[in-house]
Amino acid sequence: MSQNLFLQFAVSSLMVVFCVVIHGLGLFGLNRALRTEASIERLQRIDPLSPRGTAFTLVVVIAMLALHGIEIWLFALAYIVLGAIPQLEPALYFSTISYSTVGYNDLHMAPDWRLLGAFESVLGIFLLGWSTAFFFRMIGRIDPH
């Protein structure tokens, strides 16, 4: 295995672990904030289509989007620091399309760091799925009467 490939794999793996920890702590914190005894009692009495039910849904969605945004920005910053993509806008754009698995192409990225982009795409699939499961679990707490 070439030294460059090993470095790409090591950096990519560290970024994945770091982002999974951030995501897990973020969802744990959000869950904990919404799981106080008073919150649970309130949630059992909220009509999902009421202003309070809508506000609850919006808070959960915005918090999860913020988590994904942090992870996207971390990869964009990694691309810049590593010299894979030297400018912020292209790095952020590439990170966003990689994370969301839309994909575009890696022509704007230094070939020495393409594996990092691939790892970000795989990570995005898992973290978006994890967030979706969390979201449905949270919304399921609002019990229609």
State the pLDDT at residue 102: 83
Alpha helices (H) in 35-113, listed in sequence order: 37-43, 51-82, 88-99
Q: Which of 1, 2, 5 has its CA nearest to residue 113?
A: 5
CA atoms of 59 and 57, how far apart (whole Å): 6
User: Which pLDDT belongs to residue 35?
Assistant: 73
pLDDT of 11-53, one tens digit each?
999 999 999 999 999 999 988 887 764 565 565 666 666 777 7
- Total-model pTM: 0.85
Q: What is the rounded CA–CA span in Å between residue 87 and residue 96?
A: 14
